[in-house]
Structure 1
Amino acid sequence: MSQDSKPVGSVGWTDLTVKDAVALKDFYRDVVGWKAVGLDMGGYEDFLMIPPGSDAPAAGICHARGPNAELPPVWIVYITVEDLDRSLERVAALGGKALGKVRSAGPMGRYCVIEDPSGVVSALFESAKKQG
């Protein structure tokens, strides 16, 4: 997940979570030219998908395992927010719901997958606060 310097309100990342990430990463490699780089998930690999001629990933393709086991097989956009806790309060107040707990994105920040009142799934991402 690469969210560096994405302004609040922008889409900073996209993931696809499926049962067979290995086969699907090959599909997108052959269809759009992405190169897959494995990302260790502790016993299996998810994949960062790199566009031709770039070193920066454009998206992730993930296995529906562990904390991702219940995610639907759709492209999920990660929308950058200023304050994740406040945004999650607004999600609940306006008829949406969090799908699982707030998760760490390591040194990049934290996020939570949500469902809006119409049933559409996305994720909210809060960048780590800069120290000093």
Structure 2
Amino acid sequence: MNDKDENIYGKIGWIDLTIPNAENVKDFYAEVVGWKPEPVSMGDYNDYNMTANGEPKAGVCHKTGPNQDIPSQWMIYINVPDLDKSVAAVEQKGGKLLTEIKSMGAYGRTCYIEDPAGAVCALFEPAQ
């Protein structure tokens, strides 16, 4: 890992909204925030990258398939260098795992957690 790679850790790398019907809500955010929904094929349905000035800003996703156990809320993804180590620390420090570690394919791995105060976020280990 070089110094450039280390600069991504501890930062919020992405935000997603995972809900039962992304079709309805994508248009809400398009009108309210000005984001443009761009479909991302998930096979039988589309999730959406919400873009501004041609750059992805957030995701709006259906709560189905591999996303069915994700809490329905805006979710931040915090970049970590070693997801296994971070998951162990969650449990040692009084938090809990909301999901198992999930592969995000070529992008990396993620896990959804709850801290001791009840706040929820996702930890994300980018692929090397």
Q: TM-score, normalised by structure 1?
A: 0.88
Structure in which a larger fraction of residues adopt strand: 2
**Partner of residue 15, structure 1:** 16
Distance 2:60 2:42 in 1: 12
Amino acid at match of 1:110: R
Amino acid at match of 2:37: A
Where in structure 1 are there 5+ consecutive unaligned residues? none
What SS does the aligned partner of 1:122 have? strand
Segments of 4+ moved more than 2 angstroms:
none
Amino acid across the alignment from 1:61: V
1:67 to partner: Cα distance:
2.2
User: Partner of 1:112 in structure 2?
Assistant: 111
Unaligned runs of 5+ in 2: none
What SS does structure 2 have at the residue aligned with 1:125?
strand
Does structure 2 retain, via aligned residues, the 8 Å contact 1:6–1:12? no
Distance 1:101 1:74 in 2: 18
Structure having the higher helix fraction is: 2
Deviation string 1:32-90 (CA, Å, 9 cap, x unpaired) is 11111111112111110001xx2221000011111222322210000000100000000
> How far apart, CA to CA, are the structure 2 residues paired with 1:48 and 1:78?
15
Q: From the superposition, tell whether residues 6 and 67 of structure 1 become closer, same or farther in structure 2 (CA, over 3 Å).
A: farther
- Residue in 2 that maps onto 1:62: 61
Over aligned residue pairs, what C-alpha RMSD do you find? 1.6
- How many pairs does the alignment contain? 124
2:44 maps to which residue? 43
Identity of aligned residues (%): 48
Q: Secondary structure at the match of 1:78?
A: strand
Structure 1 CA distance for aligned equivalents of residues 60 and 11 of structure 2: 20
